[in-house]
Amino acid sequence: MAGTNRSDENLAGGPAIILVEPQLGENIGMVARAMANFGLSDLRLVNPRDGWPNERARASASRADHVIDAVRLFDSVEAAAADLRYLLATTARPRYSVKPVRGPDSAAMELRRRFETDQPSGILFGRERFGLSNEEVDLADEIVTFPVNPAFASLNIAQAVLLMSYEWMKSGLGENAAPRFQAPEVLQAGKDDLYRFFEHLEATLDEAGYFFPPAKRDTMVHNLRTMMTRAGFSEPELRTLRGVLRTLERRRRLDEEAGA
């Protein structure tokens, strides 16, 4: 979805995103786009299969050019993570390792804590086909895994980066983790307007013979008023509904006059 204000300044910083031997330029571009969506900018590539720069990556990044232009290349995970103090490895599979395992929300909170105390951090993401090797996971401090369907646990690399990027941004919002925009508040109509609508509706239904048998009228009115009250109509909405009733009344009168 396109943003509402293209003049907004790009957020930048946060943990490094390290892709190990990514295969497709399109996936790298979608990773860059996901990072830009949530304020990350440090993308590091370890031996991308198709080399770098990659025009398919740029095209898929959908104008996340500041991420693409700042990409750094490395020939090993060790080199890519050398300047970091804390490193997470993403995996969907249980490992023999006894490393601590976090969910994405907990991992993002720990990344945020490290970031705020000036401890450079990063997240390792593996290859599209088989993820990270055990040896690569061994280089990380902790593991992060996602609560996915165990029968279908494989995530596209861009999806995995998107999930972690989202959690990263959310971790910095605290109690302000609300949607970026909301629908304007609609004030409910005053009770006098609501009660006049009740009278109008019930009179119209009386004329149409809706309340039948007459012995059940009170129960039917009660049910109608309960529904209408629960809806929380605004004053303009009540005016619209009363306009509908007036149209139906006018139509009924015309039909009666035509049949007279």
Confidence band of 10 (pLDDT split at 50, 70, 90): low
Evaluate if residue 54 carries a pLDDT over 50.
yes
Identify the three-state secondary structure at position 87: strand
pLDDT, residue 4, reads 40
- The whole-angstrom separation of Cα 243 and Cα 68 is 57
Tokens of 79: 């080199």
Q: Which of 13, 51, 56 is nearest to 35 (CA)?
A: 13
Same fold, 16-176 and 191-259: no
Q: In CATH terms, is domain 191-259 a member of 2.60.120?
A: no
Bridge partners (DSSP) of residue 20 are: 46
Question: Is residue 177 classed exposed, middle or buried when 0-12, 13-18 and 19+ CB atoms within 10 A define those classes?
Answer: exposed
What amino acid is encoded at 103 in this protein?
A: G
Cα 59 from Cα 46, distance rounded (Å): 20
pLDDT in tens, 94-126: 766 678 899 999 999 999 999 988 999 999 999
Question: Which pLDDT value is given to residue 11?
Answer: 61
The pTM (predicted TM-score) of the whole model is 0.70
**What class, spelled out in words, does domain 16-176 have in CATH?**
alpha beta
pLDDT digits (tens, 9 = 90+) for 154-209: 788 999 999 999 999 998 876 555 556 667 777 888 888 999 999 999 999 999 99
Q: Is the pLDDT of residue 7 over 90?
A: no
How is the chain split into domains, by residue range? Answer: 16-176, 191-259
**What is the distance between the alpha carbons of residues 164 and 167, in angstroms, rounded to a whole number?**
5
Pairwise CA distance, residues 65 & 81, whole Å: 23
Interatomic CA distance for residues 226 and 205, integer angstroms: 16
Question: What whole-number distance in Å separates Cα of residue 73 and Cα of residue 44?
Answer: 6
For residue 108, what pLDDT is reported? 94
pLDDT of residue 13: 77
Mean per-residue pLDDT for 39-48?
96
